[in-house]
Amino acid sequence: MKKIIAIGNDHAGVKLKNEIAVHLRSQGFEVIDFGTNDNQEPTDYPIYARNVANAVLEKKANCGILICGTGIGISIVANKMKGIRCAACSDPYSAKLSKEHNNTNILAFGARVISQGLAKMIVDSWITAEFQGGIHSKRIEMIEENNK
Ligand code: RB5
């Protein structure tokens, strides 16, 4: 099955978002771009975090990627949404483990923090990882208890 990836970013993330989208499409992924595509006008990252998170929750996409200046603001907003587990990562190891242990459905990173090359490595590491289940499933259920 073709994997559909929702991607969104604020003004700080436009350039890196475009590079990541090309990188993913060249590997055969379908990428739905939720914007912004304006890197001149400052905008508000919660808009894009919510739109990408809703696409994942409504199963319009299999997973999501969010980019802001640091990856922090946009990941905080995503994590406020029930059913979303988003990790802001600056290294491939954390990204891989965030899927294997935490079953993240959104990956975030900061365009002002990491290089384009590292961002691609982080994305590749996350997108190819699989949730390991087992003991980790119980912990995911415990996370969801916060939302009851
Ligand atoms: C925008 O200047 C910046 O605050 C935003 O991109 C992000 O880094 C917030 O967490």
What would the pLDDT profile of 103-132 be if each residue is shown by its tens digit? 999 999 999 999 999 999 999 999 999 999
The 10s digit of each residue's pLDDT in 71-94 is 999 999 999 999 999 999 999 999
| Residue with CA closest to ligand 1 atom 6 | 69
In the reported structure, the alpha carbon of residue 74 is separated from the centroid of ligand 1 by a whole-number distance in angstroms of 8
pLDDT band at 147 (very low <50, low <70, confident <90, very high): confident
How confident is the model at residue 98, as a pLDDT? 98
| Residue with CA closest to ligand 1 atom 7 | 69
> What is the DSSP-derived secondary structure letter of residue 37?
-
Is pTM beyond 0.95 here?
yes
pLDDT band at 61 (very low <50, low <70, confident <90, very high): very high
Q: Which residues of 18-35 are buried (b: 16+ CB within 10 A; e: fewer)?
A: eebbebbeeeebebbebb
Instruction: Report yes or no: 123 and 129 within 8 Å, Cβ to Cβ.
Output: no
In Å, how far are 43, 98, 134, 147 from 61, measured between CA atoms?
24, 18, 25, 22
* Cα gap 90→26, rounded to integer Å: 23
The reply to whether omega before 70 is within 30° of 0 (cis) is no
Contacts with 21 (C-beta within 8 Å, 6 or more apart), sequence order: 7, 31, 33
How confident is the model at residue 1, as a pLDDT? 57
In the reported structure, the alpha carbon of residue 62 is separated from the centroid of ligand 1 by a whole-number distance in angstroms of 25
How confident is the model at residue 96, as a pLDDT? 98
| Residue with CA closest to ligand 1 atom 9 | 73
Tell which one of 43, 66, 74 to mutate to probe ligand 1, the residue whose CB is within 8 A of the most ligand atoms.
Answer: 74
The 10s digit of each residue's pLDDT in 13-38 is 999 999 999 999 999 999 999 999 99
Closest-CA residue to 88 (of 77, 104, 73, 75) = 75
| Residues with active-site annotation | 68, 101
Instruction: Report yes or no: 11 and 42 within 8 Å, Cβ to Cβ.
Output: yes
